[in-house]
Amino acid sequence: MTFSCSFFPTISIAVYYSFLLFYMSCRIDGETHLTGQVLNYFSTYCTLPNIHLVTQTLGSLFSIFLSSHCSQKPFLLGRNMESKNNKEQDTQNGVITSEMLKSRTGEFDLESILFLKLRGLGLYELGCVGECLNLERLDLSNNNITHLGALSSLKLMVALNVSSNRVSSLEALGSCDSLQTLNVAGNLLCGVDSLQCLKGLRRLESIRLRDPVYNLSNPLCGNGTYRHAVLDTIPSLQVVDGERVSGCGSDLYHLCKDIDNSLMKKFISNGTVEVSGAIKPWVEERYWDLKPTPSIIIEEAYKQFNDVLQECKELGKRADDTIAQAERALSIRNDPNSYAF
């Protein structure tokens, strides 16, 4: 069923104005002739009186608008480009903004963010990250952060990674009661006194001050006994620098420590220890070389292959005998002197 625009003059005018507003909000890089094509297309199906006059009028107005605004950016694309420029500007400024957090997480409300990863963005200031009150895991590694004051409001934060920054004080973390895992390797913590603020965190179980894999450390790690001092400062710790020092699996650690202490005492009491003779290897020469050993699976497969091959030979022999018998039977039947039926 086809409806003529003459029956719906209001709808027809609305259609024209809708398309006019739509194209006025977009840029058609010099394609002004598209205006006439669109309007002529709709005029074919519209039978309003003087519709051609309306078409020409709207086309003229639209062409004038395009010619005067063809250098402007599209409305929608302009918004996207503006948003993108704002993100780049926020990253260049090194400050965390609400727009950055919302764009990276897809959340409309900062309090809805639970996990946040801002690694390697060249950040200097934490900005509004403290407004993410329900944040549980935060990764700020590989930045240029010096102060952690904005993190004091994150009462629900469980894991924090601020490795490879320029942090010299952890005072702000003293109020993060839910904190369990902390990575501060590669910062500027000069002494164990800088960890006193973490003494009240009863849930803190793991702390990393040194990471040999990525060659990250802190000035306080220069003292060989810093781990003992860290354990005395924070009694709730179970893991220090990736090594379990208490709880399940800590027995082996304590055993090795006792052996080291006993050997150290022996060396100190006996003075300089001299090793007589050349150092001998623990095992015989070529002990670790791979020796060829027969594989049971290969032998079994080899045996099965030979059995199948033998069976095929027998079947081939039977087939040859059957073919020979058939040929003899056919030759006798074709012989005119034979009485076989």
> What pLDDT is stored for residue 272 in this prediction?
54
d(CA 127, CA 137): 17
**Cβ neighbour number for residue 142 with a 10 Å cutoff:** 19
3-state secondary structure 45-71: CCCCCCHHHHHHHHHHHHHHHHHHHCC
> What pLDDT is stored for residue 36 in this prediction?
47
Tokens at 6, concatenated: 């003459």
Q: Which CATH entry fits the domain spanning 91-237: 3.80.10.10, 2.170.120.20, 1.10.287.70, 3.50.50.60?
A: 3.80.10.10
> What pLDDT is stored for residue 147 in this prediction?
94
For 148, 150, 152, 199, 246, the CA distances from 171, given in Å and listed in that order, are: 8, 11, 9, 11, 25
> What pLDDT is stored for residue 297 in this prediction?
77
| Residue 119, beta-bridge partner list | none
Mean pLDDT per 10-residue interval, the chain, length 341 residues: 44 49 45 44 46 53 50 43 51 84 93 95 94 96 95 96 96 95 96 92 95 93 90 92 76 72 70 55 72 72 89 91 88 63 49
Exposure on the CB side of residue 262, measured as CA atoms within 13 A: 6
d(CA 161, CA 116): 11
**Phi and psi torsions of 162, nearest 5°:** -120, 30
Q: For residues 131, 133, 136 and 138, what is the CA-based torsion angle, rounded to 10 degrees?
A: 10
d(CA 236, CA 242): 15
Residue found under tokens 């996207």? 80
| Ranges of CATH 3.80.10.10 domains, the chain | 91-237
Closest listed residue to residue 96, CA positions, set 68, 132, 49, 51: 132
